[in-house]
Amino acid sequence: MAPRKPYPPIDPFRIGRLDVGDGHEIYFEECGNRSGLPVVFLHGGPGSGSSTQHRRLFDPAKYHIVLFDQRGSGRSTPLGSLEANTTWHLVDDMERLRRHLGVERWLLFGGSWGATLALAYAQAHPGRVLGLILRGIFSGRRSELDWFYEGGANRLFPDHWEDLVAEVPVAEQDDLIAAYRRRLTDPDRSVRAKAAQAWTAWEAATVMMRTSNPPTRSTGIGVSDGQIAFARIENHFFFHDLWLEEGQLLANMGRLEAIPGVIVQGRYDVVTPAITAWQFAQAWPKAIFRLAEGAGHAFAEPPILHELVEATDRFEPAA
């Protein structure tokens, strides 16, 4: 079978902004078929925002495609705000958006943190969910955060890890998430910029199975407000353990027993290792598990992209 590729670029048929309270306004867009199967795309991070490439994961003739930028992310405002910005605020925002668009039930599509948010929403509102397509599941457990920020992934990427810890004094290196929080919330933009550059460089160096990015030391020069916002929000969520009880999402999978799903996981994903997706697949009888060989974490890696497009093409919603 020839590898599946994304659908051709499309433009939204509607762009809007929705006041969700607490001083936040979220950007959203609708693409594809107004009368099609509703699907909402949940971007990763937290804090990254949606992009034009995400529209192309779905057949525009089949799907009514909804994308939005979560609080403080992308084109939502205020950019980078940490106030009233938690997992449960975002779950509530999704419900506001669903009602605003007049959607009765929708398919949830999310990768990494987007998968976390999809699971949190589905467990809170199972009656509003047609199904889930998830990639590289991250469930926010302490073991997952420790792997990436305290000891585990560093053994595979010692050169890039050295750059990450170089921004923090030795006395603070026993808790990098807390150390970076202090810098990413510093009133001095130059301090925030330098920390954001190092924080995002570590992630960028590890998301792809193959990358040509050489390790570089952080300077803070040329860092955009969007890059700072992304790092601030992601660190903010991790610092607070995503406002989830330890193991909460896995423990509550019984709430999704009647809902179909597809889980796509890169075999060599070091950001969200395969053990988490495997555990969720075992706890979810109606889920189809697809292990993408020769792939890491990023959705754009060909084996993962193939499985995702296959999943959206073949998806059959819950009755």
Give me 61's structure tokens: 């003739």
pLDDT at 216: 59
- Tell me which residue of 230, 221, 177, 268 sits closest to 71, measured CA to CA: 230
Calculate Rg over the CA atoms of the chain: 19
> What is the reported pLDDT for 212?
59
Encoded tokens for 209: 């199975």
Residue 317: which pLDDT band, with cuts at 50, 70 and 90? confident
User: Is the confidence at residue 220, as pLDDT, over 70?
Assistant: no
What are the two backbone dihedrals, phi and then psi, of residue 115, each rounded to the nearest 5 degrees?
-70, -40
Domains present along the chain, CATH in parentheses: 14-140+245-314 (3.40.50.1820), 142-242 (no CATH)
Is residue 214 predicted with pLDDT exceeding 80? no
Three-class SS of residue 38? strand
> Residue range 211-237: average pLDDT?
83
Predicted confidence (pLDDT) per residue in 141-184, tens digit: 999 999 999 989 999 999 999 999 999 999 999 999 999 999 99
Q: Write the DSSP assignment of 128-159 as a string of letters.
A: GEEEEEEES-----HHHHHHHHTSSGGGT-HH
Joined together, the tokens standing for residue 63 give: 């799907």
Q: How far apart are CA 313 and CA 319, in angstroms?
A: 18
pLDDT digits (tens, 9 = 90+) for 64-76: 999 999 999 999 9
Provide the pLDDT for residue 266.
98
Side-chain half-sphere CA neighbours of 125 within 13 A: 22
Other Cβ atoms closer than 10 A to 99: 11
Q: Rounded to whole angstroms, how far apart are CA atoms 11 and 52? A: 8
| Torsion sign, CA atoms 86, 20, 185, 229 | positive
Instruction: Note if the bond before 158 is cis, omega within 30 degrees.
Output: no
Strand order in the sheet with 287-292: 14-21, 24-32, 63-68, 37-42, 106-111, 129-135, 261-266, 287-292
- Of 185, 233, 208, nearest to 76 by C-alpha is 233
Angle at 57 between CA 52 and CA 59, to 5 degrees: 110
List active site positions: 112, 269, 297
φ and ψ at residue 172, rounded to 5 degrees: -105, 0
**Contact between 27 and 75 (Cβ < 8 Å):** yes
Task: Give me the amino acid identity at 224.
Answer: S
pLDDT of amino acid 316: 81
pLDDT exceeding 70 applies to what percent of the chain?
A: 96
With 0-12 / 13-18 / 19 or more C-beta atoms within 10 angstroms meaning exposed / middle / buried, residue 247 is middle
Share of the chain above pLDDT 90, in %: 92
Average pLDDT over residues 111-122: 98
Q: Cβ neighbours of residue 48 under 8 Å, at least 6 residues apart? A: 73, 74, 230, 234
Identify the three-state secondary structure at position 244. coil
How high is the mean pLDDT of the chain?
95
Three-state secondary structure call for residue 209: coil
